[in-house]
Amino acid sequence: MRILKLPIALLLSLLLFSSCDLIEDQLDALEIKTALTHEEAVSVPASHDQNVVLRHVVNLSLENNTSLEGKLDLIEAIEISKMTIEFANFSGDANSKVNIKILFDGEELADLNDVLLLDSSLNSQVYDLGSPEILSVLADRILEDKSADLELIMALNSGQYDADFDLKISLQIKTSVLNLI
């Protein structure tokens, strides 16, 4: 009987350690899908068919994301699956239009022209932006610096009335986070 206990104990310990290695390999990295979002209210005075140009910088940061709270130093990789922009809650002249250009490190991420704000807002239109190549460069910057600045250049023609709307820029990201269980 004693002779059987030793081989059985060795076999069980071998299985136990190999199972732990397998579980450990699977738990080394945790995948978290989330979004980095910037929202702002935009107000433009009546432009009487002239363009009003607004130019400013938007910061998209991992630090503001509650899904990644406490994990920033453990992020190993970031992949951007989609970048979108939308215009919502519009009020103003029905013919108000916007042209918007979004730049990252001087590279063009997006160039939308002649977007009718009323139609876009009423139809909840979401515009996909950026090529896979530039989104990959953007992801690398966010991984390195934990944030990235985007430059927005908007030319708005608000017509005869003041125009107000909400602007939302969103990055859908997937992160690989080192799991320290």
- List, for residues 111-130, the tens digit of each pLDDT value: 999 999 999 999 999 999 98
pLDDT at 181 over 70: no
30-178 under CATH 2.40.50, yes or no: no
**Residue ranges in 73-176 assigned as alpha helix (H):** 117-122, 132-145
Q: What pLDDT is stored for residue 65 in this prediction?
A: 87
Using alpha carbons, list the distances in angstroms from residue 108 to 52, 103, 112: 21, 5, 11
Q: What are the structural domain ranges in the chain?
A: 30-178
pTM: 0.78
